[in-house]
Structure 1
Amino acid sequence: LDNPDAGYRQRFSEEHAAPGYYRVKLESGVLAELTVTERTGQHRYRFPAGPGHILIDFAHMILDVWDKGTLVDEASLALSPDGLLTGSRRVHRWAKGRRIHFAMRMSRQPDRVQFFGDNDAPAAAGATGVTGNKLKVAFFFDEAGGAPIEIKTGISAVDVEGAKAALAAEAPGWRFDATRKAAARAWTKELDCVKVSGGTEAQRTIMASALYHSFVSPTLFTDRDGRYVGLDRQVHSVPAGEKAYSAYSLWDTYRALHPLLTIVRPEVATLLTRDLIRQTAQSPYGPPIWPLQGVETGTMTGWHAVSVLAEAKAKGIEADYAAAWPMIRRRAFDRTLKDADSTLGRGYYYDLGYVPADKIWESVSRTQEYAYDDWAMAVLADAVGAGDDAAALRQRSRNYRNVIDPSIGFARPRFADGKWWTPYDPIQLGHNPEKYRDYTEANGWQATFLNQHDIYGMIELFGGDDNYVRKLDAFFTAPSTLPRNAPPDITGLVGQYAHGNEPDQHAAYLYA
């Protein structure tokens, strides 16, 4: 990233972005435009006069420090006589083992085609395909200028046939401008669910942009025929009228996005609720955590699909909550249920009433978020008539108190022997931050206000309303100091309140 001229990157100008459309002028002189349908992407490139090429790099990616070993395998590229390029690959990065399949056409026939296999080895002359891990294909044009080159690509997580079906149904012919206008109309309809008046033009633009960002995900994961890949890695089909989704960033979104959708897009909230119920029943981990393209990533802490489902139930969204309860119950009580990174330490949580800081990373946040999920699961237990389970879960949801030290009024790391971390510093990330943190994207200040389900109980723990308000005042007025190794997520500080990150965004409302 420190060399913007390296690799494929180019300097650019004339950038423009709008819902459903993107345009940029590259320093090579190429004008690139992008638009979309539900399952296809469409490109339009205007080249300057002279030769040019389009490279399909099926192995390119930004490498993270934890990316090791074979990252892409079981890849294939094939070009049919009628010019249809199809391909598949399996990815072993985040959401390891997920697959993607595509079908692509170009509006102009290239003059030459060259496939490349692993290690950029050129395929034999005249080859119409290649298999391996890191694959590429280049389309060469002796004269790339003149008429624009359009590209349309259908995608599927199920198979190439699903990608072909998307391409045929959603991108017939060469109608880039018509597709762009249709995408704009679709987004206008979506964003019209909220209407505002007053304020400045800039403020209204910010509001509309924020609403657009809120609606970008979860993303559609159903082929046109209703097939999708479940969290059990098997192909399923949704009932008529239903949809499957991917990219549930539930640690981030259970707090605000899903509640918002129940208000402004209840029909979407209903589809998501029913999908989460299906995914809960299908997943070996039970309630989804951070699923991406048919794989449970186990990212962040907790299993917050239960929060989304509990809120949906409380707000009257109709769904078969009982279908999810067996796996929810296993996550609640079954020590043998498979754990992801986000659910580690459940045994300690059951036995000690908290996750110990000397055993599991991010222990303070885990304890509080597991307690919140206990409370949400209690709501669902009541909904399916499991009264004894509901009572046990509500009692256990008080476990968050076991990492709040009332003698100092802060969330505090606690060890397996029951002792608190000392000397305590609420600015720091935990007792041994060089090894791991005791909080999730937070420090002791921010973690102190993480509890969301037992506010009156927490006020009592702090000694009453006056003491609690003084603590809140201190939170918002403390020096905005962070340790040198603080994660970049802790942003937008007002005192120690981090408006730019999720854990304490509800804190201002605690005054009420």
Structure 2
Amino acid sequence: MVTRRRFLQGMAMTALGAPLARLPALGAPRAAAGGAGTAAAAGVSRHVDVFVGTGGHGHTFPGATLPFGMVQLSPDTYDAEWDACSGYHQDDGSIMGFSHTHLSGTGASDMLDVLVMPGTGEVQLQPGDREYAGTNHHSRYDAVRPSADEPRRSGPPKRGYRSRYADERARPGYYRVRLTDVEVLAELTATLRAGLHRYTFGRPGAGHLLVDLAHGYHDDPAVPCKVSGAQLKLVGRDTLVGGRVVHQWANGRHIYFAMKVSRPFARATLYSEDAPLPDGSAEAKGAHLKAALHFDDAQRAPLLVKVGLSAVDIDGALRNLEAEVPGWDFDGAQRAAAQAWEAELGRIRIDTPSEETRRVFYSALYHTLLAPTLFSDVDGRYRGMDLAVHALPPGRHNYSTYSLWDTYRALHPLFTLYQAGRVPDLVDGLVRMMAESPDGPPVWPLQGRETGCMIGYHSVAVIAEAQAKGFAGIDYARAWPLLRKRAMDDDYRGLPYYRKLGYIPSDREGEAVSKTLEYAYDDWALASLADAAGAHGDAEALRERSRNYRNVFDPKLGFVRPRAADGQWIEPFDPQAMGHGARWRDFTESNAWQATFLNQHDVYAYARLFGGMEAFERKLDALFATPAQLPPDAPPDIAGLVGQYAHGNEPGHHVAYLYAYTGAHHKTQARVRMLLETMYRAAPDGLAGNEDCGQMSAWYVLGALGLYAVDPVSANYVFGSPLLDRAELDLGGGRKLVVEAHGNGPGRPYIQSVRWNGQPWTKSWIGHAELAGGGTLAFTMGATPNKAFGAAPADRPPAFGRPAAEQLA
């Protein structure tokens, strides 16, 4: 099995109204900046800092893209190792070039397709050393040190085609930087399927563009990106086209491009295995291809470059390019990108006296809009999970980049509120994938390939949530038998043990405890789809099987723990450990403390295993209070620690809300407010862990609104502690949801009372149907807890499809 652990081996201000976000030089304050092509950002977009998460372990990228866009045109500072998962990290002091595809916040990686780098002087074919920065670097850091596990080089680091850089600035849909070694100002913007570059050469004489088709993310620095079937072809004196098949994380994915330049190049050289092909060669094929396009008087006018992408073929890339960028209006494209971002970000308008909160909120909202990514051409063609080319029905779109182990928890529930019009395409695409894929239901699909990353098969949760919330335009009938086959028949990652024993034995399968718990939730989700399909017998069997969590819970110790195939608990047991031995881990990016609370759907029955609700509440208290002493083999994903709680990783994201089920909702309020205020900052290292394709940010957005979907399939939201004084969400169709928090402020996290459309609301939760219909949810906040709020059994959240009062009677 492939999890993010495999990829960890071998190895955390934009001024209000400023036109651009800027990363400062070392020790320098943030500053507003202007310059070529930098019309001031308008509306709420001006509060976004695209550099949030580009430091620490956030793994985000700062470049130009559109909401859910196919193209992510961004600088690459490195192309290997964990903290280069997005191709960029603020600790690196030089830029390799600008590639057109990037992942946002992932813990495993791929992409960085079609690298373009402007240069002057002799053409360099190697990127040079990561450590190259020099003492005259005028961006954020004066020097870059090698990582502790990377051997130090003898002699000075080599530059290659890298360049040091300065004056790096960006906002949604636009990026610029000055490449100081080659004296080039680089500007980037994007459409949905194309990237636009504008290069202003500051040095007289010739210049060139290097196109590196061998460049791409590779986990091991010593092993280059594996490519097959690559091709480059010159068409006239202004066009370069090509494509390749990449064998990295998404093994065997296809990518094609078409690149045009705004004025003819004087000459061009194609390279294979870094050897120039004979003069006049117009086409190259192989595995390691590059091209250099030469311009004799590069300084005389800015050089514009436009690049269209397609996963189908070169003709598709050309059609995408001509449809979206027919001319050379860089500033017009940049304005269109800004308008697209403002339209989506402006769906949520907030009031808060804190400018830091405003920046964090809109930066988080921005990151929720970067994935999934568009994966179909303007003519409706797309490459399916079977690698065949398919055609979409008119008006539909295909998407890729689903980090489902993460995003089913908060990102997709958030979409059902403020991106409802996009939900049918996003979810029906998952159904289409499972019908086309030889691997079955999607787990972590990327550009027409299944990466197999992480555990469970949580596409079922996203589909079941959409069905429970009444979304049309999704082929649920097609999904049900395909998902049933996975649950009932497939020999897949421990499922035969799960079906036979009721749990997965840790002496037979890695990460067995976590797999058991995640399959239990998938059973719960699938039961909902079974009922909708009329398969009520299957639904009942799946609901009962969703209680398999009981089989890895030890009531004597009060923890889930590894169990052997013979039914015996495996010794020794340490709740802070990752596993029972050196062979493999028992938990997925967590330990027993964190995994013990991975129950989202059957909380009241689960609490009885601890001895009742009071004992369960004490166990929650202990989670947050027990000092963290993680073992050396703990993955860095376990971050953002509060006691044993880890906010930097997704299995714990619902845990603070579990107090609502115990009747101590005031503890949820206090914990959630603390996490909102301490785990997020408007800074490059402002995230507690990987952004994970929007999940980390979606937790913040929902939490700031006072909501969280503990069990997304239930179609309910548990209240937290609203951070914003007021928020207005455009739900589409003329409907608006207004959330107000009266008497809010620092030190006032506690809900005193709630009103829904002017009427008292005593429950600590609310249904999606109420919110999606529009209305006003008004909280009254205070400095001391109202312990009566949400305490009555009738006011606690339902679980397992039944009211709390019924289960607590």
TM over 0.5: yes
Distance 1:93 1:309 in 2: 28
Deviation track 1:117-174 (CA, whole Å, cap 9, x = no partner) reads: 1x21210111111111110001122332231111100000011111000110101111
Shift of 1:481: 2.0
Tell whether the 8 Å contact from 2:577 to 2:592 is kept in structure 1 after alignment.
Answer: yes
User: What SS does structure 1 have at the residue aligned with 2:333?
Assistant: helix
User: What SS does structure 2 have at the residue aligned with 1:16?
Assistant: strand
Letter in 2 for 1:26: L
Verify: 1:364 aligned to 2:513, yes or no: yes
Shift of 1:67: 8.7
Structure 2 partner of 1:416: 565
Letter in 1 for 2:610: F
Deviation track 1:76-122 (CA, whole Å, cap 9, x = no partner) reads: 000112522110100111111110011010112222211001x2121
User: What SS does structure 1 have at the residue aligned with 2:284?
Assistant: strand
Structure 2 partner of 1:175: 329
Deviation track 1:27-65 (CA, whole Å, cap 9, x = no partner) reads: 222111111001001111111223322100000134313
Verify: 1:387 aligned to 2:542, yes or no: no
Shift of 1:214: 0.6
User: What SS does structure 1 have at the residue aligned with 2:195?
Assistant: strand
Distance 1:4 1:69 in 2: 19
Percent of paired sites with the same residue: 54
Verify: 1:3 aligned to 2:131, yes or no: yes
Verify: 1:128 aligned to 2:282, yes or no: yes
Tell whether the 8 Å contact from 1:361 to 1:437 is kept in structure 2 after alignment.
Answer: yes
Mapping of residues 339-378 of structure 1, within 5 Å: 339=492, 344-378=493-527
Moved more, 5-14 or 457-466: 5-14
Structure 1 partner of 2:266: 111
Structure 2 partner of 1:21: 174
Distance 1:160 1:352 in 2: 51
Deviation track 1:440-485 (CA, whole Å, cap 9, x = no partner) reads: 1111111111111111111111111110000000001111221112
Change (3 A) 1:244 1:64: same
Match of 1:153 among 278, 295, 307: 307
Structure 2 partner of 1:216: 370
Match of 1:445 among 568, 571, 593: 593
Structure 1 partner of 2:656: 508
Distance 1:324 1:234 in 2: 20
Match of 2:188 among 6, 23, 34: 34
User: What SS does structure 2 have at the residue aligned with 1:215?
Assistant: coil
Structure 2 partner of 1:87: 242
Mapping of residues 290-369 of structure 1, within 5 Å: 290-318=444-472, 319-335=474-490, 339=492, 344-369=493-518
Tell whether the 8 Å contact from 2:376 to 2:397 is kept in structure 1 after alignment.
Answer: yes
User: What SS does structure 1 have at the residue aligned with 2:349?
Assistant: coil
Letter in 1 for 2:287: N
Structure 2 partner of 1:431: 580
Tell whether the 8 Å contact from 1:446 to 1:504 is kept in structure 2 after alignment.
Answer: yes
Change (3 A) 1:9 1:252: farther
Tell whether the 8 Å contact from 2:212 to 2:289 is kept in structure 1 after alignment.
Answer: yes
Match of 1:479 among 619, 627, 650: 627
Structure 1 partner of 2:149: none
Verify: 1:140 aligned to 2:294, yes or no: yes
Distance 2:329 2:450 in 1: 37
Mapping of residues 230-249 of structure 1, within 5 Å: 230-249=384-403
User: What SS does structure 2 have at the residue aligned with 1:471?
Assistant: helix
Mapping of residues 45-56 of structure 1, within 5 Å: 45-50=199-204, 51-56=206-211
Tell whether the 8 Å contact from 1:218 to 1:247 is kept in structure 2 after alignment.
Answer: yes
Moved more, 150-159 or 192-201: 192-201
Shift of 1:285: 2.7
Letter in 2 for 1:14: D
Moved more, 155-164 or 23-32: 23-32
Deviation track 1:396-436 (CA, whole Å, cap 9, x = no partner) reads: 1111121121110112111112121222111111112x432
User: What SS does structure 2 have at the residue aligned with 1:415?
Assistant: coil
Verify: 1:496 aligned to 2:651, yes or no: no
Structure 1 partner of 2:545: 396
Distance 1:471 1:232 in 2: 47
Distance 2:217 2:237 in 1: 33
Tell whether the 8 Å contact from 2:386 to 2:438 is kept in structure 1 after alignment.
Answer: yes
Letter in 1 for 2:540: A
User: What SS does structure 1 have at the residue aligned with 2:541?
Assistant: helix
Distance 2:579 2:563 in 1: 10
Deviation track 1:315-361 (CA, whole Å, cap 9, x = no partner) reads: 1111220011121111111135xx4xxxx111111111111112211
Tell whether the 8 Å contact from 2:408 to 2:462 is kept in structure 1 after alignment.
Answer: yes
User: What SS does structure 2 have at the residue aligned with 1:196?
Assistant: strand
User: What SS does structure 2 have at the residue aligned with 1:382?
Assistant: helix
Distance 1:475 1:369 in 2: 20
Change (3 A) 1:192 1:235: same
Tell whether the 8 Å contact from 1:247 to 1:293 is kept in structure 2 after alignment.
Answer: yes
Tell whether the 8 Å contact from 1:86 to 1:160 is kept in structure 2 after alignment.
Answer: yes
Tell whether the 8 Å contact from 2:505 to 2:564 is kept in structure 1 after alignment.
Answer: yes
Instruction: Provide structure 2 residue ranges, at least 5 long, that are not aligned to the other structure.
Output: 1-77, 79-129, 134-157, 661-809
Distance 2:480 2:379 in 1: 28
Higher relative contact order structure (alpha carbons within 8 Å, sequence separation ≥ 6): 2
Tell whether the 8 Å contact from 1:56 to 1:138 is kept in structure 2 after alignment.
Answer: yes
Shift of 1:10: 2.8
Structure 1 partner of 2:725: none
Deviation track 1:174-221 (CA, whole Å, cap 9, x = no partner) reads: 111110110010010011111111231121111001011011000000
Verify: 1:102 aligned to 2:257, yes or no: yes
Shift of 1:305: 0.5
Verify: 1:264 aligned to 2:412, yes or no: no
Distance 1:159 1:375 in 2: 41
Letter in 1 for 2:178: K
Change (3 A) 1:185 1:130: same
Tell whether the 8 Å contact from 1:49 to 1:143 is kept in structure 2 after alignment.
Answer: no
Letter in 2 for 1:214: T
Letter in 2 for 1:373: D
Distance 1:421 1:27 in 2: 59
Deviation track 1:286-318 (CA, whole Å, cap 9, x = no partner) reads: 321110011111110011000001111111111
Tell whether the 8 Å contact from 1:55 to 1:138 is kept in structure 2 after alignment.
Answer: yes
Change (3 A) 1:49 1:11: closer
Corresponding residue pairs, total: 504
Change (3 A) 1:477 1:27: same
Structure 2 partner of 1:454: 602
Change (3 A) 1:426 1:199: farther
Distance 1:21 1:137 in 2: 26
Distance 2:180 2:546 in 1: 57
Distance 1:67 1:195 in 2: 48
Letter in 2 for 1:323: R
Distance 1:272 1:98 in 2: 20
Verify: 1:192 aligned to 2:308, yes or no: no
Change (3 A) 1:103 1:347: same
Change (3 A) 1:207 1:487: same
TM-score (norm 2): 0.61
